[in-house]
Structure formats: C-alpha cells, structure tokens
Amino acid sequence: MGATGAARKLASAAALGGGGLSVLGAGLYGVLVAEAKIARKVIGTTSAVPPDATGWYGRGRPAPAIRIALLGDSSAAGYGVDRVEETPGAHLATGMAAQADRRVHLRSFAVVGAQSSALAQQVDAALGTHPDLAVVLIGANDVTHTVLPSASVRHLAEGVRRLREAGVEVVVGTCPDLGTIRPIPPPLKQVAREWSRRLAAAQTITVVENGGRSVSLGDVLGPEFDAAPAVLFGPDRFHPSADGYKQLAAVLVPSCLAALDLLPEDEALPEPRRREGILPVAAAAVRAARTPGTEVDGTEVAGNQRGLRGRWVELRHRRRRPSTAAESPDEHEEAPVAVPE
C-alpha cells in the first residue's frame, strides 16, 4: 500500500472507530513499541515543570486583543527550558503580536507527558476562555506509550471538531519526524521515521476534515535539527532546546495569522513557484509530512469541497516572518491604546 493510501486508511479507521493497526502492520508496530521503550529508558523522566507562558503580550499595541489557547504536550508547554521567554508559547504570542500589531493573550493548557486522550480535558478548559485561536501540538507521547495510531487520530478529530463548532480557529502541528531522535539507534530509526510520517499524514487528513488546518512540524526533529543537535535539541536529546522552540514557533506563526485572516492580500492565493497549489487531501497530507513547515487547509474547486479523490485542500509553504525577541508575559491587561482615526 502506498503512503497516500495508508494515510487515508488510517484516518478512515479512526473516524469509524477501527483499530487501524493493519495500516502499519503488527510487526512494524511491535518494533516501534520496542524502540519507544528503549528511547524512554535512555531519555529518562523528570518532575521539572516548564514556566507558564500564560499572560498578555504585545505591550503598547492596540486592541482588540487576539486570544490564543495553547493545547498539547511537552512540546507545547516548553519542557526543558528555564525562562518563560524561552517557551514556544512566549515565542508564538510575541510573534503574533508583532506581525498583527495587536495585543495577544495566550493561555497555556499544555501538560508535559500528555497524550492525545488528554485533549478532551484541555479543550473543556480552553472553551471556557473563549479563544479566537487554538494551537494544538500533540502525538509524540502516543508513540512512546504504544497508543494505537487510530486512537490518537480519533482523539485529535474530536478535539478539533469541538473547537470548530464553538467558532474557534484551529491550527495543529502534526507529529514530528521521530526518526531523528538521537537515543533511537538505526535501523529502528528508519522505522520511527516511516511511522511518524504516516501518523502526521493521517493527522492532517483528520484535522482538515474537521475544519482545522495543519502544519508539518518535521522541523522540530527533522534533518535541520539533526544536523545541529547541540544547538536545537535540549539536554535529554529528545525535546527541543530554547532555540528549537523558537524555530517551532516561527513555523506556526504564519499559519496562525492565516487562520485569523491577518496576512497581507498578496499572500491570499497559492503561489506555484513556491510549490503551492490545490490537491486532494490525502495526496497533500503525504507531501506535507515529508516537507517541514507545510500548511494544509480546506478549500473549494468550482464551488465544490470534494472531488473524485476526496476533500480539496490548499497546500501552502507560508513565508516565515522576521524573528522577534520573545517577551515575558504580563499578568494583567493594559489599558487599550487609542488608534488614530
């Protein structure tokens, strides 16, 4: 079975409540379980709690504020860093404030060690804060805890659906390339790469089908990071370093701006020279999983959301924004800045 068919089958199995194990094969999944246990033993665990990025960003910028809920696991919480300015939440909120020229309130619900099954509780809490945008980073812990892929995707689908029904825009960072984790030796490394790419593709299909948009996070643990592990990986060689989290946020900011219709008009349409365009969702999902930083979002062709090969989507490689030094969050909202008429 090709990668496109495998991703489509895995997403369908999740939607129908099936096991989805046959997509990977019992032998492949068994090997992945074994290597996950090896990696977890080498990496170890800690009780350290990342700094909470919750608060107000964009000092001196005008209203109305953008309200962001950050959901997911340690990659969203910023495991491994000591200062709040080093967390992905602070980088994301600072970048959004700078690019949109708006105040931003970010509320972090991410929990170190969270699996996709924890999304339901996080979504419950997030909906109570009435966010404009939810950013979700989840999936890697499902791999290391031997959660069936279809179960992971099913939990994600339910979370995205509930957020969208409440009118919240959703951006999901898909499963990173686990084949570049240093504690995992070859040839098991190649198995992890194939497995994580298929899961990322299935996540993309599910996210789009439920009204969100996905962004490939292969950059988090991809070739660029593997080439500079001392700079972009943290001390445990599994989680990103402070610079790694900065890169993660840089990948997400353009798609978050797009989700809120805050990009310039000249970036509204796909650019063929940037290898952007309209594709069926399964084909786009597989391509995105292999190309870090790729965004996939639903669209229409001739007034139709679906063609013969499924849901139509736009595949985009959003332009990165200039980096901005991350702020520390304020606990209290500032008085609104007057905007000249």
The candidate with the shortest Cα–Cα distance to 222, out of 187, 197, 253, is 197
**Beta strand pairing call for 169-173 and 310-316:** unpaired
Output the CA–CA distances (angstroms, integers) from residue 126 to 64, 252, 261, in the order listed: 19, 19, 21
Largest interatomic CA distance in the chain: 66
Is 74 catalytic? The answer is yes
The C-alpha atoms of residue 121 and residue 110 are separated, in whole angstroms, by 11
The C-alpha atoms of residue 68 and residue 65 are separated, in whole angstroms, by 10
**Beta strand pairing call for 213-215 and 295-298:** antiparallel
Of 22, 117, 145, 236, catalytic: 236
The C-alpha atoms of residue 284 and residue 281 are separated, in whole angstroms, by 5
106 secondary structure, DSSP code = E
Is 261 catalytic? The answer is no
Q: How many helices (H) and strands (E) does the chain have?
A: 14, 10
Of 91, 105, 155, 239, catalytic: 239
Task: Pinpoint the alpha helices (H) of 101-214.
Answer: 119-127, 140-144, 149-165, 188-209
The C-alpha atoms of residue 10 and residue 325 are separated, in whole angstroms, by 40
Residues 6+ apart with CB under 8 A from 341: none
DSSP three-state, residue 249 = helix
One-letter identity of residue 193: R
Count of residues in the chain = 341
Residues 6+ apart with CB under 8 A from 299: 278, 305, 312, 313, 314
Of 12, 73, 74, 255, catalytic: 74
Is 332 catalytic? The answer is no
The C-alpha atoms of residue 59 and residue 56 are separated, in whole angstroms, by 8
Catalytic residues: 74, 236, 239
